[in-house]
Amino acid sequence: MKRGLNIGKGLKDIKGIGAGVCYAARPYNFIIGASGKLMKCTISLDTQDANVVGHISPEGDLEINKDKLALWTEPAFENDNQCKKCVVLPNCMGVFCPLVRMEENRSPCTPIRMHLKEALLETQEILTGKTKRLTQGSPQ
């Protein structure tokens, strides 16, 4: 970002409530393995039992373990006092990365919260037209 590359991590990329929620935390997103396993996270895949939330039956029906699915999709912020106080909660809903919460038992904070000053400065540069951009042949 500091060199002018648009990598989509600033405030301008927040499109609305829940925009920073991990795709795996959305109840309708699944990864379907070749064997018919239904998984949530592309990092974990079938290496962790909690990530395999069901399978596709031979008839093509989704057979989902609701308890495992809930680990990924339930609003974790409801029981997380740190998340409840956060100003960017409407963006990440406390599920920026459910895998972090499951593996490390900690709140998975969005980069916007961790680097808010930089995000605000980037937004100001964009709004004032003073964005630095790389052009071919420009020094790094």
Tens digit of pLDDT for each residue in 70-121?
999 988 888 888 888 887 788 778 888 899 888 998 888 877 777 777 777 7
DSSP string, 7-25: -S-SGGG--STTTTS-GGG
Q: Where is pLDDT greater, at 60 or 16?
A: 60
Q: Report the C-alpha dihedral over residues 130, 132, 133, 136, rounded to 10 degrees.
A: 120
Output helix, strand, coil percentages for the chain, rounded to the nearest 5: 40, 10, 50
> pTM of the entire structure?
0.68
Residue 24 has pLDDT above 80, yes or no: yes
Residue 134 has pLDDT above 50, yes or no: no
Q: How far apart are CA 122 and CA 120, in angstroms?
A: 5
- pLDDT of res. 115: 73
Cβ atoms 42, 74 nearer than 8 A? no
Residue 135 has pLDDT above 60, yes or no: no
Q: pLDDT digit string (tens) for 34-53?
A: 999 999 999 999 999 999 99
